[in-house]
Amino acid sequence: MEYRIEHDSMGEMKVPADRYWGAQTQRSYENFRISTEKIPIEVIRAFGVLKKAAAIANFNLGKISEEKRDIICKVADEIVSGLHDDKQFPLAVWQTGSGTQSNMNVNEVIANRGNEIAGKKLLHPNDDVNKSQSSNDTFPTAMHIAAVAEIEDKLFPSMRTIIETFKRLERENEGIVKSGRTHLQDAVPIGFSQEISGWRNMIEVSFGQLLEAVEGLKSLALGGTAVGTGLNAPKGFAEEVAKQVSVITGKKFVTAENKYHALTSKDQLVFAHGALKALACNLMKIANDVRWLASGPRDGLGEIFIPENEPGSSIMPGKVNPTQCESMTMVCVQVIANDVAVGFGASQGNFELNVFMPVIIYNFLQSVRLLADGIASFNNNCVTGIKANKEKMRHNLYNSLMLVTALNPYIGYENAAKTAKLAYKENISLKDACVKLGFLTAEKFDEVFHPEEMIYQK
């Protein structure tokens, strides 16, 4: 491999000749050879957005030339487009907790690639690309930009799609009555469309919670520089750079009202990840409901059919498993676990800076990515193909002892309980038990006992 010599304030470093990064990136690359987790590419692309916004703001405020602005913007656009994803951003999550080295990684790539485009030594990574900025305000800004983009552009579409699927299933299953269940025991009847509506509304409520949480993430730390005072940033820079980020992304970002809070606290990410965790909890419940209802095909509940996507066993011929439900629930487990890392990392804001930012955003973005992809897979390969097993639903409904609840107004709770217990003990119908105990005549029982009507409030 060929190398070139780069230098920083600590001296010279050998850098691979085909890489645009410089000495500071190389030092981090060599000093933190820890595991395989890299700074998420979504964060790098968010850095591209903010470096472009900063260059425009610096030019508008008279701090850099038009030529420098244009070159920085050109390379930033290359980064945002993914042109340099594969080679230029090698740093580990497990680096400095401020993300300083990843900020410098982006600065060095923009400077060296920009100089290549310009054909001369035009840009310095600190003096030009990082002008009016500090790693301490750029990394949290990149975190927020990336979080907002991933939630709004990837997770929300998946959530909207599965909501529409549930709405369709509600319409298709209107009028089908089945046994409800509480505590994994038989309960009073419920419409299958009503049960599905509960699943739908879980996603809708989570969507609303995330909408609220995302608003806090649209507050940017940029302009606070090192400790929140804005040292070395020109007056109006914070507001101008937030404006430019909004123009570039098409999303309404604002400068943080209090930069001391923005640098040291990660509570907005904790709040937003709490909404992600709530979504994961709802999805866990939905996926478990689906696999319970589909259990069987002969010795389980068997009340719904789900798509058969692949063989389920290497030894049992013909076995098919609810694999999409299993995948969805594993995603949920990971997201719930990630919430611990996000919360604990956010608690480590000492004095003027949080120094757990890389691990916070790594886990946060993994959760968003997993949920977006997981919901899409669960919807496309399972939920869209749910079909009611009407015969099994009717059999289970009329075999349920909890239909006796319909008799409460006519024979009272205690007599209804005696009826259910006798029916269970002697394996007879509720009607036979009720008549045998002398609580109702057969004719009166038929008059008042209508399970399908029990799902409607009178």
**Catalytic residue list contains 313:** yes
Residue 232 lies in a domain: no
Give me 29's structure tokens: 């690359």
The two beta strands, 254-255 and 219-220, are parallel
- The tens place of each residue's pLDDT in the chain, 458 residues long, gives 899 999 999 999 999 999 999 999 999 999 999 999 999 999 999 999 999 999 999 999 999 999 999 999 999 999 999 999 999 999 999 999 999 999 999 999 999 999 999 999 999 999 999 999 999 999 999 999 999 999 999 999 999 999 999 999 999 999 999 999 999 999 999 999 999 999 999 999 999 999 999 999 999 999 999 999 999 999 999 999 999 999 999 999 999 999 999 999 999 999 999 999 999 999 999 999 999 999 999 999 999 999 999 999 999 999 999 999 999 999 999 999 999 999 999 999 899 999 999 999 999 999 999 999 999 999 999 999 999 999 999 999 999 999 999 999 999 999 999 999 999 999 999 999 999 999 999 999 999 999 999 998 65
Same domain for 340 and 414: no
Strands 387-388 vs 304-305: parallel, antiparallel or unpaired? antiparallel
List 7, 65, 81, 313, catalytic entry: 313
Amino acid (1-letter code) at residue 193:
S
Indicate if 127 and 147 belong to the same structural domain.
Answer: no
Range of the domain at 121: 3-131
Q: Would 245 be classed as within a structural domain?
A: no
- 350 phi and psi, to 5 degrees? -95, 125
Structure tokens, 79: 């980064």
Q: Does residue 201 sit within a domain?
A: yes
Residues 169 and 294 in one domain: yes
Task: Tell me how many helices (H) and strands (E) the chain has.
Answer: 17, 10
Of 376, 343, 348, the closest CA to residue 274 belongs to 343
CA atoms within 13 A on the CB side of 107: 26
CB 105 within 8 A of CB 19: no
Residues 443 and 304 in one domain: no
pLDDT in tens, 75-131: 999 999 999 999 999 999 999 999 999 999 999 999 999 999 999 999 999 999 999
Among candidate residues 382, 371, 372, the one with its CA nearest the CA of residue 169: 382
Burial 363-382 (b: 16+ CB within 10 A, else e): bbbbbbbbbbebbbbbbbbb
233 inside domain: no
Would you give the DSSP letter of residue 289? H
pLDDT for 456 equals 84
For residue 456, give the 3-state DSSP assignment.
Answer: coil
Contact 311, 319 (CB under 8 A): yes
Residue type, 426: E
For residue 176, report the phi and psi dihedrals to the nearest 5 degrees.
Answer: -85, 125
User: CA-to-CA distance for 338 and 317, rounded, in angstroms?
Assistant: 38
- Asked whether residue 186 falls in the same domain as residue 327, the answer is yes
Determine the residue type at 48: G
Same domain, residue pair 47 and 120 = yes
Cis peptide leading into residue 297 (ω within 30°): yes
Q: Please tell me the predicted confidence (pLDDT) of residue 182.
A: 97
Residue where a domain terminates, one of 364, 389, 414: 389
Residues 309 and 418 in one domain: no
CA distance 371 to 161: 13
For residue 331, report the phi and psi dihedrals to the nearest 5 degrees. Answer: -60, -45
Any domain includes 235 = no
- Say which CATH number the domain at 44 has: 1.10.275.10
350 Cβ partners below 8 Å, 6+ apart? 264
Q: Which amino acid is at 137?
A: D
- What's the rounded Cα separation, in Å, for the pair 19 and 32? 18
Residues 16 and 108 grouped into a single domain: yes
CB 257 within 8 A of CB 290: no
Residue 352 included in any domain: yes
261 is catalytic: no
- Express each pLDDT in 386-445 by its tens digit: 999 999 999 999 999 999 999 999 999 999 999 999 999 999 999 999 999 999 999 999
Record the tokens describing residue 393, joined without a space.
């639903």
User: Of 77, 101, 131, which one is at a domain's C-terminal end?
Assistant: 131
Total structural domains within the chain: 3
200 with 329, same domain: the answer is yes
Helix, strand, coil distribution of the chain in percent, nearest 5: 60, 10, 30
* Residue-level pLDDT at 458: 56
384 DSSP assignment:
G
Residues 6 or more apart whose CB falls under 8 angstroms from that of 209 comprise: 275, 278, 279
Whether 442 and 416 map to the same domain: the answer is yes
* 28 within a domain of the structure (yes/no): yes
pLDDT at 349 (0 to 100): 82
CATH classification at residue 421:
1.10.40.30
Give CA torsion, residues 360, 366, 336, 157, to 10 deg. Answer: 120
Q: In this predicted structure, what is the pLDDT of residue 446? A: 95
DSSP 385: G
Domain boundary among 389, 412, 428: 389
Statement to judge: residues 121 and 166 lie in one domain: no
Residues 286 and 426 in one domain: no
87 domain-assigned: yes
Q: Indicate which residue of 183, 219, 295, 395 is catalytic.
A: 183
